Structure 1
Amino acid sequence: MTYRVCLVCMGNICRSPMAETVLRRTLDEHGLGERVAVDSAGTGGWHVGDPMDERALRTLSEHGYDGSAHRARQFTSGWFDRYDLVLAMDRDNLSFLRRIAPDGVEVLLFRSFDPAARAGAEVPDPYYGGPEGFEEVLRLVEAASEGVAKHIADEID
């Protein structure tokens, strides 16, 4: 049985695909890669089918990650039954996901799994900034991915 996770941001070309790539590796490092499927999507559909933002891809590549296969997708309410865990990158997307979620489905912030993060901490959108924003996103998703991996290990064991 595969545990399934979906990471969600606005357009699915920066934050959530970076987090997807990082979380996949983190799960592999924890011996969970064969038991967990990781996906990402956006709440908006304007980038559907597009590759990851080249700045996000470059940042990942510079740190030894490969996000080249990513293509943007849009999260819809029908997807909730596909996933065991849905994580939003920020409060706006969290609010949207909670509005469309069926009763009883819990959606959480990705950074809620980072023990060093304050309550309600977000992964900021780097889209309108420079390379330092993408570096910050990478640092934040690496930290939270460790906590997500530990949470999933507890859930499936």
Structure 2
Amino acid sequence: MAEGDVRFRVLTVCTGNICRSPAAERLIRRVWVDGAAGVEVVSGGTHAMVGEPIQISMAHLLEQSGAYSGEFCAQLLTPQLVERADLVLGMTRRHRAAAVALGPAATGRTFTLREFARLVADGAAEFEPTEDRVESLRRVVELAGSRRRAVLDPAVDDIADPYGRDLEAYHLAFTEISRAVDLVGRVLEGLPVSDPRVVGPAAPSPEEAPPGRRSWGRRRR
């Protein structure tokens, strides 16, 4: 998409940028955008495995869901990516904080994915979709921002990193991402939403650390 054609940018963020954030990126493209003009969805990693494709287990889950997993190269999260985004979605609270640290001006439009879905679903009765998907996206960001509040257990906003774990961990992460994306998609379409608690609580997530402090083994991330 040409630079001048982009009217709304979504940025998803995780650690390696080969599991969670690309899954969210591709699902958002399919569910929220679905061919609408003027919307760009990209992802980045706080400690990206630069140049790597989507990890094979996550790629299979994407393909099974009908989303495209090809033509992907992991990239590092940068201040430029954050500053240019109209909506930033971290996969955990740490990713949200990292994005805000790189682009403090983006604080008001930066959420975790599950937090964003919960807030949007909570305010769904107030939302009126428009024919212009860009305008609808702007409105849901404003809606989420207006309803942001502290939660009793902030950990419900985290999606655990499946890398280096079994297939069940990948399925869990993918399911949590997909549910959050679908929930927002229903609001964008003006459809009834299920209980917003489907985006929480999260499974306990292991402490995340950058490569060098965590053993990644020899498996592709």
Match of 2:7? 2
Match of 2:214? none
User: 1:2 offset after TM fit, Å?
Assistant: 1.7
- CA change 1:64–1:151 in 2 (3 A) is closer
Structure 1 counterpart of 2:8, one-letter code: Y
TM-score by length of 2: 0.60
The answer to whether 1:131 aligns with 2:134 is: no
Match of 1:16? 21
Which structure exhibits the higher relative contact order, with contacts defined as CA atoms closer than 8 Å and separated by 6 or more residues?
A: 1
Between the aligned partners of 2:31 and 2:78, the Cα distance in structure 1 is 26
Q: Which moved more, 1:35-44 or 1:13-22?
A: 35-44
On the 8 A contact 2:83/2:106 being kept in 1, the answer is no
- CA change 1:122–1:104 in 2 (3 A) is closer
Match of 2:205? none
Between the aligned partners of 1:2 and 1:60, the Cα distance in structure 2 is 26
Q: In the comparison of the two structures, how many residue pairs are matched?
A: 151
User: 1:8 offset after TM fit, Å?
Assistant: 0.3
Long gaps (5+) in structure 2: 1-5, 122-150, 191-221
Long gaps (5+) in structure 1: none
Match of 1:33? 36
% identity of equivalent residues: 30
Match of 2:69? 67
TM-score by length of 1: 0.82
SS at match of 1:105: helix
Structure 1 counterpart of 2:53, one-letter code: P
Between the aligned partners of 1:81 and 1:150, the Cα distance in structure 2 is 27
What is the CA RMSD across the aligned residues, in angstroms?
Answer: 2.7
Structure 2 counterpart of 1:41, one-letter code: G
SS at match of 1:57: helix
